[in-house]
Amino acid sequence: MDAEAVSVVVAGLGVSGAAAARALARRGERVIVLEAVDGERQRAAAADLDALGVEVRFGEPALPEDASLVVTSPGWRPGHPLLVAAEKAGAEVIGEVELAWRLRGEHAAPWLALTGTNGKTTAVRMLASILTAAGHRALAVGNVGMPIVEAVDGPYDVLAVELSSFQLHWSSSLAPLAGAVLNVAPDHIDWHGSMEEYAAAKARVFAAAGTVVFNADDAWSSRLAEPYASRVGFTLAVPRPGQLGIVEDLLVDRAFVADPARSAEELASLEDVRPFAPHNVANALAAAALARAHGVPPEAVRRGLREFTPDPHRIAHVATVGEIDYVDDSKATNPHAAAASLAAYPSIVWIAGGQLKGADVNDLVRQAAPRLRGAVLLGADRELIRQALARHAANVPVVDVPGQDTGVMDRVVAEAARLASPGDTVLLAPAGASLDMYAGYGARGEAFARAVHRLAAR
């Protein structure tokens, strides 16, 4: 940023917007925050910023005439009138991530960045655990944890950076030491306009990365990596030279070794990946590849994976009741995530439903059908899932649980228990968002866990 004070507009007073405003004000910029919602939380944030000389304007204020830069919150769509007005006025529009990149000091910590439709938070936390195990002062930031703009001046050796497609859309000059795309499946198409635009946003993590890390088992990730010579793949199969992958029960590296054509290095075992599931192994391989790009030794990969603690509601075992396992993957809020969860278990009573956001579940149901022993449906779009089950899994018993009252999840779990047999897994992997019934996927998962524990207490 230029030392001379200029008028910078921060669009939105959320976590990233407030962090951006603080960072800019502390560097002597004249900052104005525009916030549409005039609520108690927003007023408290405005009071904190006022002490730094930051003005907050509520309602639908117009773009200040002297604005030269607009830092937008990641969720604001490109067609928002304020952002359109900024572009017409010749003001540059960037996001908090791009701002953080530009504010880095001369000796700033390198970034190891990753994105993907699913698995981002798990992979970035695995990465931070591996880096810490290697003795680095590391922190997971970005779309998880601390805003990056607050971390760039911190006492860190390396940053593990999770990036959403929204954040990447508003970033133009990022050059991480290594960047990874875990997977790409239809999501947020309403925001980006098309699948191609969504994928193009994800690809920005590759644009100036020192090492490009891609999922060799994912068509989109592989395609986005094709233009880059410095690419490293990861796969759940036996790796080729230049890849990380699986040999028997071992995670092995044939990329960051002296002779990739003739040698491999053991990094960890499948038992070190917890909770174990194929998609979690892929997350571990991606994290390992990014860490290896930073020079982390193999033993730190193993130790970091063993010490990693998963976030809640991600294929979390809740209880075993009557030889039936109950698993909470409420974070599976789209069909791609639910497919990964369903692939992890051989015999499933599936709890599904919620807000599909226009997503098609036919492929999901077709692929999962051989594993399904029953399905219990709840939420706004359960009828669409029921129709897909009728088309592709006609022999699977289906129970529809209507309503939005607090007892719905108890009825759902009771019906799932009735359909299940010893050795089955009752799996909450909804394939839809939760806001039709709950405050978020966490609240949905907690309701499921409480219902399971009440079932066990009977």
Q: Which residues make up each annotated binding site for ATP?
A: 116-122
The two counts, helices (H) then strands (E), for the chain are 17, 20
Residue numbers in the known binding site are 116-122
Look at residue 344 and give its three-state secondary structure. Answer: coil
CB 68 within 8 A of CB 6: yes
Residue 275: asked if its preceding bond is cis (omega within 30°), the reply is yes
CB 246 within 8 A of CB 281: yes
Picking from 167, 172, 141, the residue whose alpha carbon sits closest to that of residue 154 is 141
- Ordered strands of the 7-11 beta sheet: 55-58, 30-35, 7-11, 67-72, 92-95
Give the span between the Cα atoms of 243 and 239, in whole angstroms. Answer: 5
- Rounded to the nearest angstrom, the gap between the alpha carbon of residue 14 and the centroid of all alpha carbons in its chain is 18
Task: Give Dmax (Cα) for the chain.
Answer: 70
What separation, in Å, do the N-terminal and C-terminal C-alpha atoms of the chain show?
Answer: 63
Picking from 115, 139, 135, the residue whose alpha carbon sits closest to that of residue 125 is 139
Residue 67 has a CB neighbour count (10 Å cut-off) of 20
* Cβ burial, residue 397 (10 Å; 0-12/13-18/19+): middle
